[in-house]
Structure 1
Amino acid sequence: MSDERPTETPEIVVGLVATPPDYPALVAVRLTAELAGRLAERVHADVRWTVRNGWGEVAPRRDGGAEALLDDLARRRTDERWDVAICLTDLPLHTERVPLVAQTSARRRVAMVSLPALGLRQLRAVRAVVPDLVGRLLADASDERLPPAGRAPAELARRVAAIRRTVGKGDAGELRYVASRLIGRVRLLTGMVKANRPGRALLGLSKLLVGAFGTAAFALTNSTIWSVGDALGGLRLTVIMVLGLTALVAWLIVAHDLWEKPDRETPAELARMFNLGTILTLSLATAVSYVVLFIGTVLAEALLIDTSVLEQELRRPVDFTDYLTLAWIISSLATVGGAIGSGLEDEETVRAAAYGYHPEPGGWKDERDG
């Protein structure tokens, strides 16, 4: 009878922390459910992978950037007795004036990923990025529980286009993955808009749409506007539309104090990125609102304005393009009325469109047992 005992499968605990507890937490929850399987497939199958998540305790300190996040994450990893920890954040981070995608520290056994730097397909990208980061941390730390055959981590720079790897100066085991100056900035901005969830901003501006529809309904009964719209050319109508949308975005920013100002905690570069993210998010939300208003106005015209009445006012035959032109001018003018009505929006709802604003969601709490 043999005295050999079956070798116990080693367990490696991976902590997944979202900071702040808003959009990154949604990504972390979805990733947690499948990360163990991906680690077994991509890093090593002969290890029992345990994934725990948390949020709320690692503060997104803007002044320290990635280093502050990594220091906080390292303390969290030690307290929770995780083997390695990964932080997902929606902070747009930079190093040497180029977007920072990810950073690892073998000494602290932690890594962070900036979700906006991954662009629009963030969940898909983070599924590819996080297993590579975990494998890299364990390999650089020479963790004995990971068999030698599993110590050849994949190169993360090959999985995400237009990024490259650099070696940190202060930490021998520190690696940074940075994006290209041009493509990386474009991807960062689109990623910021996605992380800011324009749909939430659109739903939050419901009173704006109601006010705009009210203005449009009044304008439909004014025959003078019919004649003005008919006299204006496409260029002037385009200018009026752009001015109306710009006024609406500006009103929302000023009325609800959405403009981020540089201070001790927010460097000027970060404040500029926050403001640009806010402008793009609001612009997208208001543009969609404009399309909804335009379609609604066209339908209302078809129901309320008979062709013969419009021909009598314009003194010429009309067709469907005339209805579209009329809806165009009315929708553009109605956005001004909508801007005035938007001042009645709930402050919390509108401020959610500001990129630097992170409310404490009522349902989120720090779940240490993952």
Structure 2
Amino acid sequence: MARNGQHRPEIVVGLVATPPDHPARVVARLTRELADQLAEQVDANVRWTVRTGWGEVAPRRDGGVEALLDGVAKRRADERWDVAICLTDLPLHTDRVPLVVQTSARRQVALVSLPALGLRQLHAVRRVVPDLVSRLLTDMGDERVSPAGWAPAEMAARVASVRRMTGESEAGEWGYVASRLVGRARLLTGMIRANRPGRALVGLSKLLVGAFGTAAFALATSTIWQMGDALGGLRLTVIMLLGLTALVAWLIVAHDLWEKPDQQTPAELARLFNLGTVLTLALATAVSYVVLFTGTALAAALLIDTSVLEENLQRPVGVADYLTLAWIISSLATVGGAIGSGLEDEDTVRAAAYGYHPEPDGWLDERDG
């Protein structure tokens, strides 16, 4: 039974989000429920207090995990927290295997790489963070809580395809890594999730408007009708893929979204950033293409009478012909839409780059929550 609240010892847990973008949104939702989770899962005889803070907009990359842990430890000491948990969107590796969690009892902090958790990141941190707090306090020998009643390896079961990493590190320095194959796949999907492709899609609104303008012009061109009728499905597929690829390449080149390795960014991390950027843009442009295709097909059905299309193609036409027409026009219009992308606000487009994080003013509404 819990003791009276005035006599219960207080333990302050700090949650640090770095950079203060996607991780901050996860922290904001976790903060509202973490104290109750800790009382239920760790120790009800403790008065749990949860504090939040935002880390660097551009966290250090050159020192990897150790640099992040040192930075969080300094923040913990400055804020006088008992323990601190850092959530980051940096894709971390150890021995070329994705690192999910790293704890350090010596520093009294732990680190969670959100991308390594895959798509259901909030669900995963809800399961992992209480265990991390319990593990840290136990390894620190904190007498205010009962020792954790589970082995460190058990926490690996909280997230699928994760195993405990054992090494020659000192006591209380636990690492958890993902499996080599499934873990890498989940890391990539997690990077797309953390990069918020919906924001990239909204940011390419002018591109979509330009593509619709190109499509409207092409709908009135009978040569395009005949071209679509003459091309088979394979050629149309190739044209579509070439158009989407050209658009993604144009966005990367025109807005300088390609991350280059340097002293601050190791080559492996730069490759992951670039892959995350390409996948995010590919998803955003694919969704834009679907919207464009749907709108073009509806416009073709409304504007082009069946008899006019039959007269031009010299044969009966059906729904498939209208879809084929929308297909080729959408593919050609994506290239025209790339011109519209040059009119986008630079910061809006650069938000699709995985390694780019603008200053938080104006988009981190959780900061004041």
TM-score range, shorter chain: over 0.9
* C-alpha spacing 1:138/1:229, structure 2 compared with 1 (3 Å): same
**Residue 327 of structure 1 aligns with which residue?**
326
Q: Measure, in 1, the Cα distance between the counterparts of 2:70 and 2:5.
A: 39
1:49 counterpart SS class? strand
**Residue 283 of structure 1 aligns with which residue?**
282
State the Cα distance separating 1:304 from its structure 2 match. 0.7
**Residue 232 of structure 1 aligns with which residue?**
231
Contact kept? 1:102, 1:114, Cα under 8 Å: yes
Structure 2 unaligned blocks of 5 or more: none
State the Cα distance separating 1:340 from its structure 2 match. 1.4
Deviation per CA, 1:126-164: give whole Å up to 9, x if none.
10011110010011111011134x554672101101111
State the Cα distance separating 1:168 from its structure 2 match. 4.4
Q: Measure, in 1, the Cα distance between the counterparts of 2:5 and 2:291.
A: 66
Amino acid across the alignment from 2:191: M
Deviation per CA, 1:45-75: give whole Å up to 9, x if none.
1111100000035861001111111001111
Q: Measure, in 1, the Cα distance between the counterparts of 2:43 and 2:5.
A: 19
**Residue 42 of structure 2 aligns with which residue?**
43
Contact kept? 1:58, 1:73, Cα under 8 Å: no
Contact kept? 2:156, 2:163, Cα under 8 Å: yes
Q: Measure, in 2, the Cα distance between the counterparts of 1:273 and 1:121.
A: 20
* C-alpha spacing 1:258/1:6, structure 2 compared with 1 (3 Å): closer
**Residue 264 of structure 2 aligns with which residue?**
265
* C-alpha spacing 1:211/1:147, structure 2 compared with 1 (3 Å): same
Q: Measure, in 1, the Cα distance between the counterparts of 2:189 and 2:125.
A: 16
Amino acid across the alignment from 2:172: G
Contact kept? 1:55, 1:366, Cα under 8 Å: no
Q: Does 1:189 align with 2:179?
A: no
Q: Does 1:218 align with 2:217?
A: yes
- Mapping of 1:271-310 within 5 angstroms? 271-310=270-309
Deviation per CA, 1:324-347: give whole Å up to 9, x if none.
000000000000100111111110
**Residue 110 of structure 1 aligns with which residue?**
109
Q: Does 1:208 align with 2:201?
A: no
**Residue 94 of structure 1 aligns with which residue?**
93
Give structure 1 regions of 4+ aligned residues with deviation exceeding 3 angstroms: 56-59, 150-154, 363-367
**Residue 33 of structure 1 aligns with which residue?**
32
State the Cα distance separating 1:42 from its structure 2 match. 1.2
The TM-score normalised by the length of structure 1 is 0.95
Deviation per CA, 1:228-258: give whole Å up to 9, x if none.
1000000000000000000000000000000
State the Cα distance separating 1:41 from its structure 2 match. 1.4
* C-alpha spacing 1:43/1:169, structure 2 compared with 1 (3 Å): same
- The alignment's C-alpha RMSD in Å is 1.8
Amino acid across the alignment from 2:297: V
1:174 counterpart SS class? coil
Deviation per CA, 1:74-113: give whole Å up to 9, x if none.
1111111111000000000000110000000011110000
Amino acid across the alignment from 1:184: G
